[in-house]
Structure formats: structure tokens, C-alpha cells
């Protein structure tokens, strides 16, 4: 995932979905949240990309019990 984030692109929803499922298999929710933060950071000034990805990932997030950084209040820091 680190290599993917290093590229000059925002990963597709299905790639992030697979990464979140891998984090859940490892029971590593901190990494799942870090992935979402990295995707948000990569979206940068394009404010419509991150909400779209969260919308696409919402069923997976609900299924896996993963909270977004906004739900955890991390966007207020």
C-alpha cells in the first residue's frame, strides 16, 4: 500500500476495499484508518474524490466495522 500511495494517483475504490479487507483479516484497524487517511491526503485539493470513495466504500466499512477518520474526530486535529 505504501508503494501505491507513493504514486501520483488516488487508488480506486476496489483497491482500497481489498486493502481494508486485508487489514480486517489481520485485525489491524489502525492500519485501515491510516489507509483512509492516506487516500484522503492523496485526494488533496480535489474535494470531490474523497467523499466519492467513502460513498463507494460505505458498504465495506459497515460490514467490517471500520470507522472513517471523520467519524473518529481525527479531522478536527
CATH number at residue 51: 1.25.40.40
Task: Tell whether 14 is covered by a domain.
Answer: yes
Whether the CA torsion 22, 27, 7, 68 is positive or negative: it is: positive
pTM of the model: 0.87
Instruction: Determine, yes or no, domain membership for 75.
Output: no
77 band by pLDDT with thresholds 50, 70 and 90 = low
**9 in any annotated domain:** yes
**Which structural domain range is residue 62 located in?**
1-68
Residue 76 placed within a domain: no
**Residue 73 lies inside a defined structural domain of this protein:** no
State how many domains the chain has: 1
Q: Considering the domain boundaries, does residue 74 fall inside one?
A: no
- pLDDT of residue 52 exceeding 70, the answer is yes
pLDDT above 80: residue 9: yes
Q: How far is it, in rounded angstroms, from Cα 35 to Cα 6?
A: 12
Amino acid at each position: 500500500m505504501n508503494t501505491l500511495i507513493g504514486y501520483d494517483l488516488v487508488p480506486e475504490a476496489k483497491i482500497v476495499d481489498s486493502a481494508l479487507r486485508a487489514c480486517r483479516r489481520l485485525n489491524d484497524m489502525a492500519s485501515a484508518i491510516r489507509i483512509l487517511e492516506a487516500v484522503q491526503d492523496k485526494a488533496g485539493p480535489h474535494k470531490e474524490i474523497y467523499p466519492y470513495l467513502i460513498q463507494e466504500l460505505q458498504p465495506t466499512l459497515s460490514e467490517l466495522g471500520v470507522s472513517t477518520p471523520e467519524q473518529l474526530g481525527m479531522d478536527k486535529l
